[in-house]
Homo-oligomer: A and B are copies of this chain.
Amino acid sequence: MYDRILRDKELKVTPQRIFILEEIRKMGHAGIEDLHERVKEVYSSVSLATIYKNIHILVEENILREVPIHGRKPVYEINIGDHVHLCCTKCGEVSDIMDIDTAPMLKEAERQSGHKYERIAVMLQGVCKNCSN
Chain B residues positioned under 8 Å from A128 (CB to CB): 113-116
* Complex Cα spacing A124 to B114, Å: 12
A121 at interface (Cβ–Cβ under 8 A)?
yes
A99 contacts partner chain B, Cβ-Cβ < 8 Å:
yes
- The complex is assembled from copies of this chain, and their number is 2
Contact of A126 among B66, B86, B116 (CB under 8 A): B116
How many residues on chain A are close to B (CB under 8 Å)? 39
A 94-133 contacts with B by CB, 8 A: 95, 97, 99-100, 102, 105-106, 108-109, 112-129, 132
Known contacts: A115-B126, A126-B115, A129-B114. The answer to whether A109 contacts B97 by CB under 8 A is: yes
Is the C-beta of A57 less than 8 angstroms from some C-beta in chain B? no
